[in-house]
Amino acid sequence: MVLNVNKGMVTIEGTVEWWKAIVESMNDGVLVIDQAGIVRTINPEYTRITGVTPDIIGKPLVSYRPGARLPETLASGKSQVGVYRKTHDREYVVDMAPVVVNDEIVGAVSVCKSLNEVQLLTLELEKQRQKVKELQERMSALHRVRYTFDDIIRAESNMQDIVSIAKKTAATDLPVLIGGESGTGKELFAHAIHHASLRSDKPFIAVNCSAIPSDLIENELFGHFEGVLYSKPVIGKAGLFEMADGGTLFLDEIGDLSLDVQAKLLRVLQEGAIRRVGEVEERRVDVRIIASTHRDLQQLITKGLFRNDLLYRLNTIDLQIPPLRERKKEIPLIAQSLLADRFEVEENVLKFLTQYDWPGNIRELRNVLDYAKCLVDENERISIRHFPDFMQKQHTLLNEEKGILPLHEAVEVAEKQILETSLQSCGPTVGERQEVADLLGISLATLYNKMKKYNIK
């Protein structure tokens, strides 16, 4: 650094007052010498940091401080940066530069900062870096996959074939389209494909296209510009494509995207570049696309709601996940997996689970079992009576079609009906309940226990 002064300023002496006005307001220590090495300016901060007092003004610097380095800068015309100095118990760092007027060195300036302040600033900078690192680690954790191919139960041959294709697909960067009814596990496949890919150490970002309003989805996917809009500053935002750079972006329910957003998505697939909303400049991105839908995209194309050229780009690899009703062998295995070996179930429960059609697929199965886990008592096995009412009715209908119930279930059905009929004619008071218990030949405590067992209010 060389300090050049305006040509109208002939000498340092002629500008002392001007210099003072500047240096007095500075947070760094400043000392200035003229061409003869005489101290002309020193600010209060310099005194605070170094201990050198204003008494030195008008005197040669070397006579006051024989080891001073500033005269070297004056003589050589070369700047010195980050020079460590220690005076008694004071430590500080000094930058020195010549003052040049009309290509002639007419003095030199020394700027210093307390080493304690430097250390504090360095420490604060390190703290901020650590915070950024922790945030990055948290973001990375949020964007890691939760499932692998080992988590996919595949007892049926059709599922084994699909998993085999998906594993081979994982080794490529080809787009993947996963179809199937809601709740069949499409996102599980997306996670597993990313985990088995060469991008597994990069972000996996999932977005449900049907959950974001159409007027916001473009901003979410592509980000928006930074600048001024209607006289107000706008903070720029990276979209999900930029956040997923190097990794995988999973577009769940892609059939719900508007045609405008579909066109922009097609461009990303073709060009590998995105343009933030409101910007002209394109940004390169390296993102693998995995998409899913429960809808018939060919039908949407016929209705003019989906672009056929986008479908051709997406379904390079087309995986169709069968519904749970077509995977009967897997239902008990999936159920045991969801129960995590912490709950036992009665044998007839597993049999019933395979008989039910599960229109909501694995998602519905999970919800039913979660309900049962809440109702079952400790050391008790899950039975049909722990299921929601609609499931209990479905179980009864299935058994009525067969014309027979297991004995203990028939007893429970009859007992529940008798209790419900008896309780309908009495009020909610303890005395009235006692009368019902007496008529049934049981204690009041037993009556309440059975009401709880059959979920009778």
pLDDT tens readout for residues 71-92: 999 999 999 998 888 877 788 8
Q: Is residue 238 part of a domain?
A: yes
Average pLDDT value for residue range 15-41? 83
| Domain annotation covers residue 350 | yes
Same domain, 102 and 210: no
Same domain, 350 and 425: no
The enclosing domain of 91 has a CATH number of: 3.30.450.20
Same domain (yes/no): 240, 349? no
We report the CATH number of the domain holding residue 375 as 1.10.8.60
Mean pLDDT of 295-319: 95
In angstroms, the Cα distances linking 361 to 185, 200, 303, 365, 385 are 9, 28, 28, 6, 21
Q: Tell whether 127 is covered by a domain.
A: no
Does residue 6 surpass a pLDDT of 60? Answer: no
Share of the chain above pLDDT 90, in %: 51
Question: What average pLDDT does the segment 291-303 reach?
Answer: 95
For 188-327, where are the E strands, in sequence order? 204-208, 223-224, 227-229, 232-234, 237-238, 248-252, 273-274, 283-284, 288-293, 317-320
pLDDT at 131: 76
CATH code (residue 184): 3.40.50.300
Domain holding 436: CATH number?
1.10.10
Counting Cα atoms < 13 Å in the Cβ hemisphere of 68 gives: 25
Last residue in a domain, options 295, 320, 345: 320
Q: Which of 323, 199, 305, 194 is nearest to 257 (CA)?
A: 305
* Residue 131 within any structural domain of the chain: no
84 with 114, same domain?
yes
In a shared domain, residues 260 and 349: no
Mean pLDDT across 6-29: 66
Q: 358, 371, 366: which is closest to 334 by C-alpha?
A: 366
Domain end residue (candidates: 100, 118, 136): 118
Question: Do 180 and 262 sit in the same domain of this protein?
Answer: yes
pLDDT (average), residues 357-378? 91
Cα→Cα distances 403→147, 354, 383, 399, Å: 43, 19, 20, 6
Looking at the structure, tell me whether residues 288 and 166 fall in a common domain. yes
Q: From CA 327, how far away is CA 446, in angstroms rounded?
A: 42
Residues 176 and 238 in one domain: yes
Average pLDDT over residues 235-243: 87
pLDDT given at position 236: 76
Let me know whether 172 and 192 are in one domain: yes
In a domain, 222, yes or no: yes
Q: Is the pLDDT of residue 409 over 80?
A: no
Number of domains in the chain: 4
Same domain, 312 and 365: no
Q: Which two tokens stand for residue 345?
A: 């179930």
Asked if residue 403 has pLDDT above 70, the reply is: no
Nearest one of 288, 294, 274 to 316, comparing CA atoms: 288
How confident is residue 10, by pLDDT bands cut at 50, 70 and 90? Answer: very low
Of 19-23, 145-149, 160-164, 261-265, least confident by mean pLDDT is: 19-23
Nearest to 175 by CA among 287, 75, 69, 253: 287
Q: Torsion-angle region of residue 440: left (phi > 0), alpha (psi -120 to 50) or beta?
A: alpha
What domain range includes position 348? 324-403
- pLDDT digit string, tens, across residues 147-177: 999 999 988 888 999 999 999 999 999 999 9
**Residue 339 clears pLDDT 50, i.e. is over it:** yes
- Is 80 exceeded by the pLDDT of residue 135? no
Statement to judge: residues 301 and 413 lie in one domain: no
One domain, residues 194 and 314? yes
Please say which residue of 282, 300, 320 terminates a domain: 320
Q: Which residue has the tokens 């045991």?
A: 336
